[in-house]
Every structure is written in C-alpha cells, then in structure tokens.
Amino acid sequence: MTTRLFDSHSHIQMSQFDGDREGVIRRARDAGLVGQLVLGTDVTSSMSAIELAATEPDIYAAAGCHPHDAKDMDEASLDKLAKLAEDPHVAIVGEIGLDFYRNLSPHDVQIEVLNRQLELAGDVSKPVALHGREAHQALLPFVEAWSRRMGGRLPDGRRLGVMHYFDGGLELARRYGNLGFFISIHCSVTYPNAGTLAEVAAELPLDVLLVETDSPYGPPQSRRGQRNEPAYLEEAVLKIAQLRSEKIERVAETTTANAFRLLGITDTAQPPLERAGAMEERGAQ
Ligand SMILES: [Zn+2]
C-alpha cells in the first residue's frame, strides 16, 4: 500500500494489547498508517494514551471520560482531566458523549460529565471526539448549544471535532457536519448488513469523512470474532472506495489529510493550507 492511512479512533493502550503492543504499532505502520489517535476513556487510560504519544511519533492522544465511566467521575478527577487536556501530546478531548444503549452510567450523570468536557474543550481550544449510541436525540441539543457558543469552529478555524463510530442516517450525519464535525466511518461498514452506514459512507462529501478501527472492538468482516487492530483499517477504506466508486488512494489520502487538519498536525507530505481551503469550499457545496 503506497497511500497513507490514519486511524482516527483506537484504544491500543488497553490491556488487550499488553502482550504485543509494539507488534501492533509496527503492523500498523507496515499497513500504511501514518498516524493513529488513541483515546482515553477515563483518567488512567488518558494518561496511558499520553505516555504512548510521548514515545511514538505517529501516535496522538485524546484525554477524556467515556459516558460508561461518567459515574466514577468526581470533581477531583474532572480537575485531573482538565490538566491532562492541556498536555501538548493531547490533540483532542475524548472520548466523550452519551450512551443510552448500555446505560452503564445514569443519564443525568452522563449529561453532566459531557457538558463539563465540552466546556473544557472550549477552554483549551481543542476539538472533541464524540460517542453517541442510541442517544443522538439527547446528544444533539448539547452539541448544538456548544457549537453555537464556539461559532461553529475552533478559534483557529479548525472543525470542532468528530462523531466517532457513526451509526445514524444521512440526515443526521449532515446535521453533525453542519455543526462543525467530521463523521468517522468505522470498520463495520464492511459488514453485509451495513445498510445505512454504507449509504452515509457513499453519499457524504469526502471532505468530512474520517476512518477508524475503534480497536480492540469491532473488527472488519474478514476478521470477525478477532481482536481488532489499527493494521486492519485498510479493509474499511477499500469498502468505502468501492461504495463511492472512487480510487482507494483518494479515499485514503483525503481522510488522512482530514485527520491531520482536525488534530492540527502539520502535514509534511501535503501543502496543508491550500489543500484544506480547497476541500472546505468543495465541502460547502
Ligand atoms: Zn472508543
């Protein structure tokens, strides 16, 4: 694979990778990945993500509290997260959001922790990675309010974040896009029953798409039942390219450039400002 890939959502700091994390990182590079965003789900896993980002040049960290873990947050841990969010290795506040599917934290607690972290992201002028499962109705008003307060973009003009593992329809995807978010297409787009997601991957402008594995969860079709890892991302990108009748190189390059732009990473292989400007215009049409 000669094109570049970027996994916008992984959790390779988790214990599932303790036995072979170096191999996982090496295989990702061999598979064409030039970067991955490793997301925290609580204070401890956010610190582990930062440690990885401090030692591996192509790993970027996110610090945040997942809605599942919201019930364990207190003022002290929110303070700790606020400090972590300022760390230069932290590119994003996340993952944050609402999960009314597994309901591992009470809804009101999830909402409180979400809003505190949206405020935090605004304070440190960093984007957010959103998780929404069976909760978009509840999530949208908070995201809308935050987007409005932020003026639809970060102070430096970047998009406000990404809706990860998107599981809604085209109309919902466009709403998040208009609020200033990228839409991340997960490996599950390769499943035979991907219906709605396949439509989203085919129809949205490429300029608002990111791709992700969410490792260790949800492997692509050819690896069903196995642990997922970032090296398997290409299968999803190939599927998206087929759905769009586009070359895989174009999908790979554009989603990689999108990830660089979101994270504020200087893209040495592309003229980022010209490219970003051109893509933003096309996306608005
Ligand atoms: Zn995740």
Residue 274 has pLDDT above 60, yes or no: no
Domain limits at 40? 5-284
Q: What's the whole-number average pLDDT of the chain?
A: 93
For 182-210, the pLDDT digits (tens) are 999 999 999 999 999 999 999 999 999 99
Write down the pLDDT at residue 57.
95
Tell me: the pLDDT tens digits for 213-234? 999 999 999 999 999 999 999 9
The domain tally of the chain equals 1
Q: What number is the average pLDDT over the span 250-266? A: 96
CA dist., res. 31 & res. 272, Å (int)? 23
Is pLDDT at 275 greater than 60 in this prediction? Answer: no
Domain with residue 185: its CATH number is 3.20.20.140
For residue 44, how far is its CA from the centre of ligand 1 (angstroms)?
15
Cα–ligand 1 centroid distance for 214 (angstroms) = 5
Where helices occur in the chain by DSSP H, the ranges are 21-30, 43-55, 75-85, 107-124, 136-150, 170-178, 195-203, 233-244, 248-263, 272-284
* Cα of 278 from ligand 1 centre, angstroms: 30
Residue 43 binned pLDDT confidence (cut-offs 50, 70, 90)? very high
Whole-number Å distance, alpha carbon 152 to ligand 1 midpoint, is 24
pTM: 0.92
> Cα of 8 to ligand 1 centre, how many Å?
10
30 CA to centre of ligand 1 in angstroms: 23
Rounded to 10 degrees, what is the CA torsion of 285, 195, 260, 62?
A: 130
**Ligand 1 mean position, distance from CA 95 (Å):** 6
User: What SS3 state is found at 104?
Assistant: coil
- Looking at residue 270, its pLDDT comes to 55
Distance 41 CA to ligand 1 centre (A): 7
| Gap from CA of 108 to ligand 1 centroid (Å) | 21
Is 276's pLDDT higher than 60? no
